[in-house]
Amino acid sequence: MEYRKFNKFDKPVSLFGIGCMRFPMIQTGDGAVVDEEQSIQMIRYGIDHGVNYIDTAYPYHNGESELIVAKALKNGYRDRTYLATKLPVWLVEKYDDMERFLDIQLNKLETDCIDFYLLHALNKSRWDSLMELKVLDFMEKAKANGKIKYICFSFHDNNKTFKEIINAYDWDMCQIQMNIMDMDEQATVEGLKYAGDKNIPVVIMEPLKGGKLANRVPDEIGQIYGQSRIKRTPVEWAFRWLYNFPQVAVILSGVSSMEQLKDNLRIFNDAKANCMDEEELALIEQVRQAYLKGIKIPCTGCEYCLPCPQRVSIPRIFDLVNSAFMYMSEKDSKNNYQRFIVNDGNDASKCVECGQCENVCPQNIPIMQKLKESHIFLTGQGDFPDN
């Protein structure tokens, strides 16, 4: 396992961190539930093979993730890891709410101290609201009382807002969305380097853009990767581009199977910064441009838009649209959408345009309009618009 040392941390941190938002699932008569036994096994296997950063959050898996992580970290595993979780800032209405949620999370995680405590999914409006509630006073008090060790935030907005937040405090760490398709989106690569210049280590989320850079890679993309002298899988290339940055402390991977976990461990066995030459960087840019031609809706499947009051499966619908174009699977996407309509009743036609989803979407997608366009396309009533 590759480790990186930053003077803000007590000990080196594993470059590969296990994200606990996409645990393996089991299908039951009532729907899918987390495979708790396998999830615990995977977390412990990762720790036994060098991972020392475990990332969860209050809403993951409808609140179950923190409970499962607590079970996985029993029997001495807690002492071997950095534990990260996040304050659900969208639920905070007053100062006391912050203290209440932290105490709930400490109890769920069965620990006296959370190592990395993040303000979850900050954007401009949430940041402004939290500052009015004196959120930094709360974080410093929690740190002084020994309830948390490092004061951090995760982020979903634009580069301007990212810099505003970064400049507001001497953060111990920040977490941003970054992958080969998001170089110029959200915090941006420039923001990543800006944080590094301020001596703030960066944790990366969505390195595979919700799995889209790993699953069913189009022939065109595979051919571009095949031009390299050294043959690597698309997953290896995606991670390699990220760990090339010395500012990156941890790259989170939301592994959903033991096979994925073992492959990630292999990739991060020798993951050095500044490892990519100009030829490799140019290859990544070729891949990026090829993908950009196919993406219709920039959804990462984070599920912040859920639950929808009408039970519309927003990320799954958008994924069907993107898959149709990115992976040349229009027929499969349309067939799957018919099953949505017949079996689940969670299709886009159920949207009543309440706007709740758009208020929380980290990608700022005009969800209501895109649901209309998706329904027309996936039911064969018309083409999906280019913009």
Domain membership of residue 385 (yes or no) is: no
* 69 vs 163: CA distance, rounded Å: 32
Q: Are residues 107 and 205 in the same domain?
A: yes
Q: Are residues 212 and 247 in the same domain?
A: yes
Q: Are residues 263 and 368 in the same domain?
A: no
Q: Are residues 137 and 191 in the same domain?
A: yes
Domain membership of residue 369 (yes or no) is: yes
Q: What is the pTM of this model?
A: 0.82
Domain membership of residue 307 (yes or no) is: no
* 195 vs 216: CA distance, rounded Å: 34
Report the CATH number that the domain containing residue 214 is assigned in CATH: 3.20.20.100
Q: Are residues 216 and 331 in the same domain?
A: no
* 308 vs 328: CA distance, rounded Å: 29
Give me the domain span that covers residue 364. Answer: 314-378
Q: How many domains does the chain have?
A: 2
Tokens 């590759």 belong to 2
* 156 vs 165: CA distance, rounded Å: 12
* 135 vs 4: CA distance, rounded Å: 29
* 86 vs 21: CA distance, rounded Å: 12
Q: Are residues 43 and 85 in the same domain?
A: yes
Please check the confidence at residue 34 and state whether its pLDDT lies above 80: yes
Q: Are residues 72 and 149 in the same domain?
A: yes
pLDDT in tens, 68-79: 999 999 999 999
Domain membership of residue 288 (yes or no) is: yes
Q: Are residues 92 and 190 in the same domain?
A: yes
pLDDT in tens, 89-103: 999 999 999 999 999
Please check the confidence at residue 306 and state whether its pLDDT lies above 70: yes
Q: Are residues 266 and 334 in the same domain?
A: no
Strands 248-253 and 202-205: parallel
Q: Are residues 83 and 146 in the same domain?
A: yes
pLDDT of residue 71: 98
Residue finishing a domain among 292, 322, 357: 292
* 199 vs 170: CA distance, rounded Å: 9
Q: Are residues 197 and 74 in the same domain?
A: yes
pLDDT in tens, 239-264: 999 999 999 999 999 999 999 999 99
pLDDT in tens, 117-156: 999 999 999 999 999 999 999 999 999 999 999 999 999 9
Cα-Cα-Cα-Cα dihedral sign, residues 293, 295, 297, 299: negative
Q: Are residues 329 and 216 in the same domain?
A: no
